[in-house]
Structure 1
Amino acid sequence: MGILYESTDLVGWGIWFFVLFSLMAFNEFSRTTKWGGITLFLIVPIILTIFVWPTTAAPGNEYGTGTWFNWVKTYSALAGCLGFMAIRYIPSLAKKKWVLWFPPAILALNILEACIRDFQVFAYGVWEGAYIDHLWVMSGPWNIMNGIAGLLNIIVICGWTGIFVSKDKSKDMIWPDMIWPWIIAYDLWNFAYTYNCIADHSFYCGLALLLSCTIPTFFIKKGAWLQHRAHTLALWIMFVMTVPAFADRIAPVPTTHNPTAFFVVSLLSLLANSALVVYQFYRIRKRKLHPLKDEIYTDTKAYKKAMEENTVAV
């Protein structure tokens, strides 16, 4: 038995790495080719919505994919992908200031959805753990802690006025002010959310899914975290809606169901996001910035590197 998860064998880790690299590969395909994005995020979802998901994600099904949250999360993630593609491929859109409100708005909405879910799990009152809608959950203070952490994470979304389209062939949506402190705080919060609310699926939708967008942000395409996140999230949730037995029957890796693990994971999330709020407001006050109009991290190495790599035509 591990600390967070029950032990798994080499086959289990092989499946995990296959999920990770598959998400990264499909993200690259959708990111670097216009038709790849259109196929994966428009044509395929339409087909699945009509012919597959009414069966595999029917309300009350035995895998828990028929909940309101799964359906809302699926289409909000797809809306983000398609909206970002519009910004990337329709030149006139990226020049309109009001359009730049869409990325932070869809991001905040996705975070808020998860916060509501954390609070909902607390409201279930299953202090010893139980299966609800065919998903194992355990209510506790960690739900409140992490719900608050998510709301703090929304507060520190910043610098969207600096969003632009990269000058290279991939035409990525670049958000240079979204640097590593926010990304790490988000990752800690989102992992805690998956651990709290989709516990026995979080080996994949927590660890693998978060790494599939964080790794490209640091090593493949800097400044494009939100685009990476939208793509990989949409890809994963479409897969789950289509093959709902994957995490429960085909390759299960359950959590240890240990209350201490739940508490520690959410505590780290809350501490990281609280620290980020304090640090960011300190910068805003010291540099006399407007949080809704100005970029916050323009003097940092991470910001400058993202600008350098995406403003030169290739």
Structure 2
Amino acid sequence: MGYLYEVPGLNAWAIMLFVILTLIAFNEFGRTTKWGGILLFLIVPIILTIFVWPKTAAPNNEYGTGTWFNWVKTYSALAGCLGFMAIRFIPALAKRKWVLVFPAAILAINILEACFRDFQVYSFGLWEGGYVDNLWVMSGSWNIMNGIAGLLNIVTICGWTGIVISKDKSKDMIWPDMIWVWIIAYDLWNFAYTYNCISDHSFYAGVALLLSCTIPAFFIKKGAWLQHRASTLALWIMFVMTVPQFADQIAPVPTTHNPQAFFIVSLIALIANLALFVYQGLRIVRLKKHPLKDEIYKDTKTYQNVLAENV
């Protein structure tokens, strides 16, 4: 870890594990009970918006939580959670194919927001590093590389027409065509984004947060990655907006501020998403699929297993 981060102590590892397990637990609470989801993603945010965030996430505060990006990301994540709940629990909505555009659209918008932020950090011209909105960043070619990786990740979003609602009690929003190859490419891109744009917060906002949604997608409720991602992202941002000093004072794990590390992390993300783009393009051509209408991975075992478990 000494290459990417200043070597964290045992306390930091314990806190990271606690963060991951807590996010997974709250995600399960919101996923398996309708009232839990309403409490976490509607009632609590309203209370925090009125009584807490105007103070803890005020513009130009010392922790960097008062930026436009934090506020936009908070409410877009919450909009995703509430929108997904509407699709899950209002049967008429899931039957209308045009409604299923929403999950793909909110995902694409969230990725695009981060791409814009990467390009913006490059425009700052902080080639030796510096503080913007009280967050340390370093501009470089990595911002451009990772911005392109994110755009490729958007282009490869596919199969939204095949979204279904699981038949079990939790009524999860299942996206069978969002298989592991896309999820891994997303994780690599998103980690690079956090490393580039919120560097000294990325140990938690990158590594821990991504694990908290990827683990459930692979081992708890397969096919529901986007639902897991929206919920854990919303929970994390709400926490950060409420306790902004967490990553800077309570449990800091700074990056090494090594330009080579920035470059390598973004290069890996770019290569992974370029490979996904080429692989998916070849499948589209070979199987004669329409990239906006058809499910690209319907013939794969991963897709078929997810569908069999939920329908």
What TM-score comes out, normalization by structure 2 length? Answer: 0.99
Amino acid aligned to 2:187: D
Distance in 2 between the 1:59 and 1:8 partners? 30
Structure 2: tracts of 5 or more residues without a match: none
Q: 2:260 corresponds to which letter in structure 1? A: T
* Aligned positions of 1:288-307 closer than 5 A: 288-307=288-307
CA–CA distance in structure 1, aligned partners of residues 103 and 44 of structure 2: 23
Q: Structure 2 CA distance, aligned partners of 1:229 and 1:57?
A: 23
Tell me, in whole angstroms, the C-alpha distance in 1 between the residues paired with 2:301 and 2:135.
43
After TM superposition, the structure 1 = structure 2 runs for residues 123-138 of structure 1, keeping only pairs within 5 Å, are: 123-138=123-138
In structure 2, the residue matched to 1:76 is 76
* Cα distance in 1 for residues equivalent to 2:209 and 2:304: 27
What residue number does 2:188 align with? 188
Aligned to 1:64: 64
1:210 is displaced (CA, Å) by 0.2
Distance 1:129 1:242 in 2: 27
- How much does 1:11 deviate? 1.0
1:103 aligns with 2:103: yes
Q: Matched residue of 2:7: which SS?
A: coil
Q: Describe the SS at the equivalent of 1:303.
A: helix
Cα offset, 1:192, TM superposition:
0.1
Alpha-carbon distance in structure 2 between the residues aligned to 1:213 and 1:231: 8
The C-alpha deviation readout for 1:95-129, integer Å capped at 9, x for no partner, is: 01110000000000000000000000000000000
The structural deviation recorded for 1:182 is: 0.2
Give the alignment's Cα RMSD to 1 decimal: 0.6
* Letter in structure 1 aligned against 2:264: V
TM superposition shift of 1:8: 1.3
> How much has 1:301 moved relative to structure 2?
1.3
Write the deviation string for residues 137-174 of structure 1: whole angstroms up to 9, x where unpaired: 00000000000000000000000000010000000000
Counterpart in 2 of 1:216? 216
Q: 5+ unaligned residues in a row in structure 1: which ranges?
A: none
Aligned to 1:148: 148
Q: Which residue does 2:235 correspond to in 1?
A: 235
SS at match of 1:112: helix
Q: Tell me the residue number matched to 2:86.
A: 86
Name segments (4+ residues, structure 1) moved above 3 Å. none
- 2:114 is aligned with what amino acid? A
Which residue matches 2:18?
18
Deviation of the 1:12 alpha carbon: 1.1
Report the equivalent of 2:177.
177
Query: Shift of the alpha carbon at 1:292?
Result: 0.8
Alignment partner of 1:131: what SS?
A: strand
Q: Give the Cα separation in 2 of the matches to 1:271 and 1:46.
A: 41
Cα distance between partner residues in 1 of 2:204 and 2:4: 13
Moved more, 75-84 or 7-16: 7-16
Q: How much does 1:202 deviate?
A: 0.2
One-letter code of the match for 1:171? K
Partners of 2:264 and 2:302 lie apart in 1 by 29
Q: 2-side partners of 1:69 and 1:159: how far apart?
A: 29
Query: What letter is aligned with 2:25?
Result: A
Please state how far the C-alpha of 1:250 moved relative to its aligned partner: 0.3
- In structure 1, the residue matched to 2:226 is 226
Separation in 1, partners of 2:100, 2:288:
22
Give the whole-Å Cα distance in 1 for the aligned partners of 2:8 and 2:260. Answer: 21
SS at match of 2:248: helix
Aligned partners of 1:49, 1:145: CA distance in 2, in Å? 35
Partner deviation per Cα, 1:276-298 (whole Å, 9 max, x = no partner): 00000100000001111100001
Q: Quick one: distance in 1 between partners of 2:216 and 2:302?
A: 14
For 1:8, the aligned partner's letter is P
Q: Percent of pairs identical after alignment? A: 79
Query: How many equivalent residue pairs?
Result: 311
Instruction: Name the counterpart of 2:262.
Output: 262
Cα offsets for 1:64-84 (capped at 9, x unmatched): 000000000000000000000
Inter-partner Cα distance in structure 1 for 2:301 and 2:23: 28
**Alpha-carbon distance in structure 2 between the residues aligned to 1:48 and 1:36:** 17
Matched position secondary structure for 2:127:
coil
Distance 1:195 1:9 in 2: 20
Q: 1:299 Cα deviation (Å)?
A: 1.0
Counterpart amino acid of residue 309 in structure 1: E
Instruction: In structure 1, give the amino acid aligned to 2:258.
Output: N
